[in-house]
Chains A and B, each alone.
Chain A
Amino acid sequence: MTAPSRLPKPPSGGLRTLSWRRQALYQGLCLFIALTVLFPIFWVVSLALDPRDISRPDGLSIIPPGASLQHFISAVEEPTSNPVTFWQLALNSFILAIGTSLFSVAIGVFAAYAFSRVRFRARSVLMLAVLAVLMLPAVATIAPLFILLNQVKIGDFNLRQSLVGVGLAVVSGLLPFAIWNLKGYLDTIPKDLEEAAFVDGAGRTQAFLRVILPLAIPALAVTAFLGFVAGWTEFYFSVTFLNDPQSFTLSVALNGMVGQFATTTPWGKFSAFAILFALPVSLVYIVFQRWIVGGLAVGGVKG
């Protein structure tokens, strides 16, 4: 956890301890809550490991009889009926995610600094413009982006049908988010530090690059990670814009498996695919939870 862990811990236990009855009651409650939290996760793991893929599993077991990695193998080799492997899908998702997130953070941090520190005319108007965009969910801009990106055609290349086009659509919402999130963090850095740099004769740009930017690295990393997750799992634009299976992303394949037009879902393969899809970002979340979850509680990526 974030904020709590930084506070000095009050002496726990000490004089007031729980009677063992209460302790047992509360632990039982905690265990029950934990089971509700864990159940869907266990369920998917169990489906992914069950090689039988029968229409009605005959019981609820975490490790089904004859557990195998067969579904994982088929989810990697041929996740959908399209001629594209999991690796190709993952590579496309990765390129989309890393490109949009790094780009947004790299140019967003400059704007965030200007909003946080510099007083200039039109500051409030520009900030309102960013906020108004943030208020509108990304889905609500899909029509104009589709049309405009579709106008860019060079020979056989259509911007709308390419990952670059999807990336531009993603940045359209991610950049305002990055600016706002980073501004929130820069606001918390004491101004004295820059003042000291000014006294030493540094200009704005130098103070920003030498003093503020190094201090903002954790916030940059968290913002970049949240942007990465948004790109890694991006759905609306990829599904609507992309036509060529070779440029499909993981979400497009997932939609092909369980979307509303999927008639029968191979649940075993779906579960294996979902685990492979979620695991990379979930692991990063778990390892860096302390930093990320605090940021999540304050604001989220628009999506």
Chain B
Amino acid sequence: MSAPALPAPRPAPPAPRRPRLGRDWKTALLFLAPAFIVMGVITFFPLAFQTYISFTEFTIKYIRPGADPAPWVGLQNYEKILSNNLGIPNFFFVRQVIYNVWWAVSNVAIHVVLGVAIALLLNVKGLRFKRFWRALYILPVVIPPIIVATVWRNMFDTQHGAVNQILAGVGSLFRIPAEAFRIDWMRQSSEVFPFLPDDVSYFIPLAFFALLAANTWLGWPLNAVVATGALQSIPGELYEAAEMDGAGPWQRFRNVTLVYLRPAMIPYAIYGFVVTFNLFHLAYFMSAGGPFGRTEQLVTQAFRLVNEQRLYGVAAAFSVFMFFILLAITLVTNRAAKATASFEG
């Protein structure tokens, strides 16, 4: 990721060729050695080992030091994952992948729109207390994600949660009994919008909306920071010039504001997509993947395969799948970023 807030990166000056390439190779080695020796042992070797055990039936039996090597089973773990044949309830691999992409897309769309809208609001000329509001809005970012997730788990609790109590409070104004608002946000599995086909309803259980609310709270502020940076880099004369040319407010927004926002927001949206795709704590603590595994993400499933099921070989194969899915996402989004970067800013 390049720094998104910079308006136009200036071309790097050509590196001066120093007549010390041979020595540089040695210094590079010297400087890289500590980090790469450590990573070789605790990062790259485990990843290679992971690929190996993904082809074995590595279960808890083989974990003890000095145990027999786990039997080689070829592609069996991969086949079992693809055919949902792991003997784990509510494991549907393809559905999980689709849900996970949908989760990331829907969240990022909301974060970007809200972030830009609020940045625009705080960028209005003559608005008072800007600094105060900006400082306040950054609060969700400074709280560790594990705390955010557990607190929102409480907010949506059926008995003790703030959300149900607020709804009951509002309902009492209309004489609706409080019992009507004992909503079981995380476990209710009936469809939220009965008119939608089942295949669509599957991906939007009630828990999805609760997770979406929590992640919206968490996600928009940084988008607003990035958008604010881009907005403040717009030369004021551009608006004056556009106004003199007879451009209305909408045209000024489209032809000036958006043009400057785009190069900053698109890389950040891509980054946000990957972060949201791999967001662990909300799905793990709030919904625990429920109802019936419908809000399970790849990261939470990968964790469960080790932490609960202790299927190390299967978990390794699952991680290999994750690697390729994330690689595909990275390649696609990089292409998208390049395609949109050529847009004249």
Contact = CB atoms under 8 A, between A and B. Distances in A.
Report whether chain A binds chain B. Answer: yes
B330 interface: yes
A110 B306 contact: no
Interface in A122-140: 123, 126, 129-130, 132-133, 135-137, 139-140
A217 interface: no
- Residues of B in contact with A, size category: 35 or more
A267 B144 contact: no
A80 to B, nearest CB: 14
19 contacts: A4-B232, A13-B126, A18-B125, A37-B136, A37-B217, A126-B36, A132-B327, A133-B47, A135-B330, A139-B303, A142-B315, A143-B316, A152-B65, A232-B144, A282-B142, A282-B144, A293-B138, A296-B141, A298-B4
B146 A148 contact: no
A94 interface: no
A136 B322 contact: yes
A120 B29 CA distance: 9
Interface string B1-40: 1011100000001011010010111011111101110110
A144 B145 contact: no
Nearest to A250: B146
A67 interface: no
Contacts of B134: 1
B28 A114 contact: yes
B133 A34 contact: yes
B266 interface: no
Most chain A CB atoms below 10 A, which of B31, B285, B322, B326 = B31
Interface string B39-69: 1001111110110010000100001110000
A119 B138 CA distance: 40
A208 B306 CA distance: 43
B147 A274 contact: yes
Contacts of B141: 285, 293, 296
Interface string A39-59: 111011001000000011100
Nearest to A58: B165
B151 A107 contact: no
B126 A3 contact: no
Interface of A: 1-4, 7, 10, 12-13, 16-18, 23, 26-27, 29-30, 33-34, 36-41, 43-44, 47, 55-57, 60, 107-108, 110-111, 113-114, 118-121, 123, 126, 129-130, 132-133, 135-137, 139-148, 150-153, 168-169, 171-173, 175-176, 179, 184, 188, 191, 195, 198, 204-205, 208, 229, 232-233, 235-236, 239-240, 251, 254, 257-260, 265, 267, 270-271, 274, 277-278, 281-282, 285-286, 289, 293-294, 296-300, 303
Interface of B: 1, 3-5, 13, 15-16, 18, 21, 23-25, 27-32, 34-36, 38-39, 42-47, 49-50, 53, 58, 63-65, 118, 121-122, 124-129, 133-147, 150-155, 157, 159-160, 162, 165-166, 169, 217, 221-222, 225-226, 228-229, 232-233, 236, 268, 271, 274-275, 278, 280-281, 284-285, 288, 299, 302-303, 305-307, 312, 315-316, 319, 322-323, 326-327, 330
Contact of A298 (B1, B44, B278, B303): B1
Contact of B160 (A1, A55, A232): A55
B43 A175 contact: yes
A144 B217 contact: no
A226 to B, nearest CB: 11
Given A7-B233, A118-B27, A141-B319, 8 more contacts: A4-B232, A27-B128, A40-B217, A41-B139, A126-B32, A270-B154, A294-B5, A299-B1
Contact of B137 (A3, A33, A40, A133): A33
Contact of B35 (A30, A175, A265): A175
A278 B144 contact: yes
Contacts of B21: 119
Contacts of A300: 271, 275
A12 B302 CA distance: 52
B50 A144 contact: yes
Contacts, number: 303
Contacts of B271: 299-300
Contact of B58 (A36, A147, A240, A286): A147
B306 A107 contact: no
Given A1-B225, A136-B326, A254 B146 contact: yes
A143 B229 contact: no
B99 to A, nearest CB: 17
B144 to A, nearest CB: 4
Contact of A60 (B58, B153, B166, B330): B166
B144 A172 contact: no
A120 B160 contact: no
A180 B328 CA distance: 21
Contacts of A121: 25
Contact of A140 (B42, B151, B312, B319): B319
B154 A139 contact: no
Given A143-B319, A298-B1, A172 B42 contact: yes
A236 to B, nearest CB: 6
Contacts of A7: 232-233
A135 B16 contact: no
A60 B162 contact: yes
B38 A148 contact: no
A152 to B, nearest CB: 8
A96 to B, nearest CB: 14
A38 B143 contact: no
Contacts of B32: 110-111, 114, 126
A113 B142 CA distance: 29
Nearest to B271: A299
A151 B69 CA distance: 13
Contacts of B63: 146-147, 150
A282 B139 CA distance: 9
